[in-house]
Amino acid sequence: MTTGETMEYSKEEQTFLAHMAQGLAAWATLPAGGRGLVVGMATGMAELFAARGLAVTETGGADVAAGTVTGPFDVIVMVAEPERTTEPVALLAACRQLLAPHGRLLLGMNNRLGLRYFCGDADVYTDRSFDGLDDYFQVYKTSADTFRGRMYSRAEIRRMLAAAGFAHQKWFSVLTDLEHPMMLIAEGSLPRESLERRLFPTYHRPAHAFLMEERLYRPLIEEGAFHAMANAYLIECPVDAAASDVLEVTSSLDRHNEDAFLTIVRGDAAGRPARVEKRAAFPEGEARLQELLSHHEDLRAHGLQTVADTMEDGVYAMPFVDAPTVQVWIERQAEAGNRAGVLAMLDHFHDAIIASSDHVSEGDGDGHGVVLARAYLDLVPINAFAVDDGVMFFDQEFVKENCPADVMVLRMVDFVGGALQQHGIIRYEDLMDRYGLRAQADKLRKIWDTFATELRQVATMMPVRAPHERDLSLIEANRLRCAYPERRYRELFVDIFDGLDDKELVVFGSGAFAKRFVAGYSGRYPIAHIVDNNAAKQGTELGGLTIESPDVLAKLPAQSFKVLICVKGYLAIARQLEAMGITDYACFDPMRDYPSARPAFEVPATPAPEAAEDDAPAKKYHVGYVAGVFDLFHQGHLNLLRRAKAQCDFLVVGVVSDMGVTKYKKVEPFVPEDERLNIVRACRYVDRAEILPTEFAGIRDAWHLFHFDVMFTGSDYQKNAGWLSEKEFLKRNGATIVFFPYTQSTSSTHLKSLIQEKLL
């Protein structure tokens, strides 16, 4: 790791990290039979060299600088090592002396002016934000300050390399960073696709971020600042000036070996993009390339246009297509206000998806569309070019048999829907209706999510991924923290319930945020009024209250009430309230925790050791949580509650409401919610049981409500990416999930089937 951190990872996780990092050099032509030197903590590079047939030497930067390493070497790889020494030029010069006349250095370096640091990420050496941006002015002021490492800018690195004797340098900007090199783009080239849909930014300290990095790349490209603000660089330094012809590399090394590829764009003699290659990163993937060729043949047989591709010595190749992707084309047309053109393109794309394979069944007009014999899951706008005679598809690696065509149609809508709504072309909801996707959207999205989760090893590699992935709710919170003075920030977004002991509460809004507030907090904070600007909502009910016009606020005694804005876009409403002379307001966000809120119920303190009965050992957790329907309560339910109580002092059980069962499980419960609640409350292992609000029933919602230390559930969710993501959320908040091994027992589903068949 370039940060110098020590992490405990399994062997499988260490292999994953090594494969990811190899993207820095896996594209390079390495001389089999030659000598390779790996300097410092260049993760995965020794394994890469050995796999390519090089004799490998590994050593530290200090040994190289001291002259104790014997050359010559055909290739040297060094990642961030000059950043860890106070004499970087001397280290680089020593590397230069170790290279053969035809040798080259592949040097990975962080950029202290990288975009991620302007977005708030912490410096990899100081662990604080902004230190690199001001050239470590606050860190290394005196000789007494301990040097832990530092990053350099592109100009500074360029000067150091020249001083060390490297006259020839070919620069690549690295995205997202040195540990996760998803894209390498040569200086002088620029991305031709929308990075918002391709890039998954990673961070040293993601909790520090306050901007979405991927949204800034397009303006940086337009302003000519893309390469200057890359997060990191790979510099190819050939002794004999014979640099590679590579212009761009895209890696998919976060996948299983058979699906891991390197897509390489090569230039002609004039440096113009001319050829695209796709190479298997590992031998297991070579057969996949042949499959890719056959997939395109199949699509052409069904009338779709694909790139002209061939296989040459185990390498998949195609000519460079000088055309925008359909994604980029649609975004440009949306900016120009070309609604008719955009919708015509989407209709054409939709028809191509429907025509891409034989049909197993046709749509039944009830939300169930065409089922394809062979569904090409990457028939999406980022994997197609907009050409004069229509659409040309490429990179159709993945096929799923007997799959609804609407899986790809929904992906198409998800890719473009946000941009089209932003530019006023068409609302996302209307686009869903245009293609009949609403009824089955959850089911369709789950098909792709399940596939993608397995492909990218999201679940199995969650411990490796989670420390570097962002939480968008934290980004928004950090952004707001920057926008207001500390006291006002706390009044508006943190201490939102202050003052409600002697004031009436008014909820402004009646949408999703308001419903979640009513479900989660109205029992603790009685609501006097709910108001909304939408005249169509006024007169209807929410939480037993009639929704009113905001005009009612003018009739309330001044200083007698406080308004909670329960709307995502709070700013316009804040200005509206201030124009009315109302300044006592705050903003509710259902994804935030409010420690100062009144508790949903009182939890006894942790028992003192002397209070334990019969010398029983202290429980591992204090407050535990279990959620479930508990329909037709049986021994399996009892076992779950007994095992949970054995590990915690106080067990809270959330019982899914009747409406929640219908909404999320698509079935009707046999036993109504009040009876299910009473049965659970009667169990000796349960200390508290509550009906879960339908709009506030997720894991994060439950933690906000109950502040438990641990959630207990069955092991059938243990490898579910969504659940593992929630586990990471709980971990950040001092809680966890314990997965109990699944045991075969009576199930509610089995009992229901017996009842329905009149066998019970």
Q: Please tell me the distance from the alpha carbon of residue 724 to that of residue 454, in angstroms, as a whole number.
A: 13
% of the chain surpassing 90 pLDDT: 71
- Element holding 393 (H helix, E strand): strand 390-393
- pLDDT tens-digit readout, 406-462: 999 999 999 999 999 999 999 999 999 999 998 889 889 989 988 998 898 887 888
pLDDT at 402 over 90: yes
Check whether the bond before 72 is cis (ω within 30° of 0).
yes
Give dist(CA 692, CA 628) in Å, integer. Answer: 9
The pLDDT tens digits of the residues spanning 708-735 come to 999 998 876 676 666 777 888 888 888 9
Level-2 CATH architecture, domain 609-756: 3-Layer(aba) Sandwich (3.40)
Neighbours of 522 (CB within 10 A): 18
Mean pLDDT of the chain: 90
At 110-168, the pLDDT tens digits run 999 999 999 999 999 999 999 999 999 989 877 777 889 999 999 999 999 999 999 99
The answer, yes or no, to whether residue 759 has pLDDT greater than 50, is no
pLDDT in tens, 347-399: 999 999 999 999 999 977 666 789 999 999 999 999 999 998 899 999 999 99
Cis omega (within 30 of 0) on the bond before 176? yes
Contact 374, 401 (CB under 8 A): yes
Residue 65 sits at the vertex; the CA angle it makes with 59 and 66, to the nearest 5 degrees, is 90
Tokens encoding 509: 């809004």
DSSP string, 238-292: ETTS----EEEEEE-TTS-GGG-EEEEEEE-TTS-EEEEEEEESSGGGHHHHHHH
- Tell me, what's the pLDDT at 596? 84
Q: Which residue in the block uniquely carries the two structure tokens 């950090």?
A: 478
pLDDT at 696: 75
| Short-list 180, 66, 237, CA closest to 465 | 180
Q: Could you tell me the pLDDT band of residue 97, with boundaries at 50, 70 and 90? A: very high
Q: If you average pLDDT over each of 385-389, 691-695, 704-708, which comes out highest?
A: 385-389
Residue 367 is predicted with a pLDDT of 67
Q: Could you tell me where the beta strands, DSSP code E, fall in 63-180?
A: 73-79, 99-110, 170-175
Cα–Cα distances (Å) from 84 to 57, 60, 80, 143, 180, in that order, read: 20, 11, 7, 16, 20
53, 275, 286, 316, 615 from 313: Cα distances, Å: 18, 15, 11, 8, 72
d(C-alpha 214, C-alpha 231), whole Å: 12
- Which helix (H) or strand (E) segment is 688 a member of? strand 688-692
Quickly state the pLDDT bin for 538 (edges 50, 70, 90).
very high
Quote the CA–CA distance of 732 and 208 in Å, as a whole number: 13
Residue 51 has pLDDT above 50, yes or no: yes
Coil, helix or strand for 171?
strand
* pLDDT above 70 (res 760): no
Quick check: 67 and 96 in contact, CB under 8 A?
Answer: no
Q: Would the CATH topology of 11-244 be identical to that of 495-587?
A: yes
What fold is seen in the domain 495-587? Rossmann fold (3.40.50)
Q: Please tell me the least confidently modeled range out of 331-340, 566-575, 596-605.
A: 596-605
Measured distance CA(251)–CA(249) in Å, rounded: 6
DSSP summary character for residue 180: S
487: pLDDT strictly greater than 50 = yes
> Amino acid identity of 358?
D
Mean pLDDT along residues 289-303: 96
Q: Give CA–CA dist 248/186, Å, rounded.
A: 6
Query: Domain spans of the chain?
Result: 11-244, 284-455, 495-587, 609-756
pLDDT of residue 228: 97
Query: In which element (H, E) is residue 17 found?
Result: helix 11-21
In this prediction, residue 715 carries a pLDDT of: 76
Query: What does the block give as tokens for 36?
Result: 């390779």
Residue 5 has pLDDT above 60, yes or no: no
What is the C-alpha radius of gyration for the chain, rounded to an integer number of angstroms? 30
Question: How remote is the C-alpha of 392 from its chain's centroid?
Answer: 29
Q: Which of 220-224, 231-235, 465-469, 484-488 has the lowest mean pLDDT?
A: 465-469
> Exposed/middle/buried for 536, CB within 10 Å: 0-12, 13-18, 19+?
exposed
Q: Say yes or no to pLDDT of 198 above 90.
A: no
Between CA 381 and CA 324 the distance in angstroms is 10
Question: What pLDDT is attached to residue 504?
Answer: 96
Predicted confidence at residue 754, as pLDDT, reads 47
How far is residue 502 from each of residues 61, 480, 520, 558, measured CA to CA in Å? 66, 28, 21, 13
Tokens of 710: 């641990």
Max CA distance (Å), the chain = 87
Q: Which are the contacts of 410, defined by CB distance < 8 A and separation ≥ 6?
A: 435, 437, 441, 444, 445, 448
Query: What pLDDT sits at residue 537?
Result: 96
644 — pLDDT class (breaks 50, 70, 90)? very high
How far is CA 105 from each of CA 132, 140, 663, rounded to the nearest angstrom?
Answer: 25, 29, 59
Q: Using CA of residue 64, residue 68, residue 70, residue 72, what is the dihedral sign?
A: positive
The Cβ of residue 192 has, within 10 Å, a number of other Cβ atoms equal to 18
557: enclosing H helix or E strand: none
- For residue 647, pLDDT over 60 is answered with yes
Phi, psi (rounded to 5 degrees) for 447 = -60, -50
Share of the chain above pLDDT 70, in %: 93
Distance between CA atoms of 255 and 458, rounded to whole angstroms? 9
What span, in angstroms and rounded, lies between the C-alpha atoms of 366 and 364?
Answer: 5
Q: Per-residue pLDDT for 64 more than 80?
A: yes
DSSP state of 43: T
Could you tell me where the beta strands, DSSP code E, fall in 30-165? 35-39, 55-59, 73-79, 99-110
Round to whole Å and give the CA distance between 603 and 675: 24
Q: Give the span between the Cα atoms of 633 and 686, in whole angstroms.
A: 14
Let me know if domain 11-244 sits in CATH 3.40.50.150.
yes
The secondary structure of residue 644, as a DSSP letter, is: H
d(CA 530, CA 508): 6
pLDDT digits (tens, 9 = 90+) for 156-175: 999 999 999 999 999 999 99
Q: Which two tokens stand for residue 686?
A: 């349960």
Report which DSSP code applies to 137.
T
| Cα–Cα distances in angstroms (integers) from residue 481 to residues 471, 476, 477, 700, 711, in the given order | 16, 9, 6, 22, 31
CB atoms inside a 10 Å sphere around CB 366: 9
Residue 270: how many other CB atoms lie within 10 Å: 6
- Give the separation between CA 24 and CA 356, rounded to whole angstroms: 36
pTM confidence score: 0.84
